[in-house]
Chains A and B, each alone.
Chain A
Amino acid sequence: DTGVSQNPRHKITKRGQNVTFRCDPISEHNRLYWYRQTLGQGPEFLTYFQNEAQLEKSRLLSDRFSAERPKGSFSTLEIQRTEQGDSAMYLCASNPEGRTIYNEQFFGPGTRLTVL
């Protein structure tokens, strides 16, 4: 399967712990996006990379959140000192540069985080 993959699929942690999620985009896709989705809501944009450069960050991305894409391939999203309000589905998406006319993003299955 050559779709977007995310690991782990589920993560349960205790409040105050740090967690890290990984996203592997579709190969050749140089744009990568992170979204967060809470129960009953649509996904909310967090940040996006073009290659290794982080080009936009939402104000939802507090200083406890950091995302990296060091080699322009996979990306990690780290949450430090987790809070119960961080419980959500974290979605990753990718698309290739050049598709700037229309915005088809390919989403992974998400990582569901539960903070106890």
Chain B
Amino acid sequence: DAKTTQPPSMDCAEGRAANLPCNHSTISGNEYVYWYRQIHSQGPQYIIHGLKNNETNEMASLIITEDRKSSTLILPHATLRDTAVYYCIVSPSGAQKLVFGQGTRLTINP
């Protein structure tokens, strides 16, 4: 079962920062936080992951609270192509399968 809680949907204006929250209050010390997204009719795509430090890559930033019980994915300048379902996944180091929840459907509006 998924160990994360996400809002079912969010809207954001094009060009603004999209901040997607995720609660994972039962996270264990060896579990990473992953974010994937799925654009309509495509397979999921890896975005970013983190353990306890904030992370940034060319796609997004990941902010993890100090107690690690929640995190926020930030898309700094959202475009229409960022419209997708975003999944927050908690998974231990070395795990093979990904356990997806229902994710957040993010709609970027022009």
Query: Which of B34, B43, B99 has most A Cβ within 10 Å?
Result: B43
Question: Would you list which residues of chain B between 53 and 107 have a CB under 8 Å from chain A?
Answer: 85, 87, 91, 93-103
Bound CA–CA A101/B94 (angstroms):
5
Tell me, yes or no, whether A110 is within 8 Å of chain B by CB: yes
* Chain B residue at minimal CB-CB distance from A3: B43
Tell me, yes or no, whether A62 is within 8 Å of chain B by CB: no
* Minimum distance in angstroms from A100 CB to a CB of chain B: 5
B34 adjacent to A103 (CB under 8 Å): yes
Q: How many residues of B contact A (CB 8 A)?
A: 24
- Determine which of B43, B46, B97, B103 lies in contact with A4 in the assembled complex, contact meaning CB atoms within 8 Å: B43
Known contacts A42-B102, A103-B34, A103-B91, A55 near B96 by CB under 8 Å = yes
B42 adjacent to A41 (CB under 8 Å): no
A101 adjacent to B2 (CB under 8 Å): no
* Minimum distance in angstroms from A18 CB to a CB of chain B: 24
* Chain A residue at minimal CB-CB distance from B47: A104
By a CB distance below 8 angstroms, the chain A residues around B49 are: 102-104
Nearest 9 pairs between A and B by C-beta?
A107-B43, A42-B100, A45-B97, A104-B46, A100-B94, A43-B100, A107-B44, A102-B49, A91-B43
7 residue pairs from A and B, CB less than 8 Å apart: A45-B99, A48-B97, A55-B96, A56-B97, A100-B94, A107-B44, A108-B43
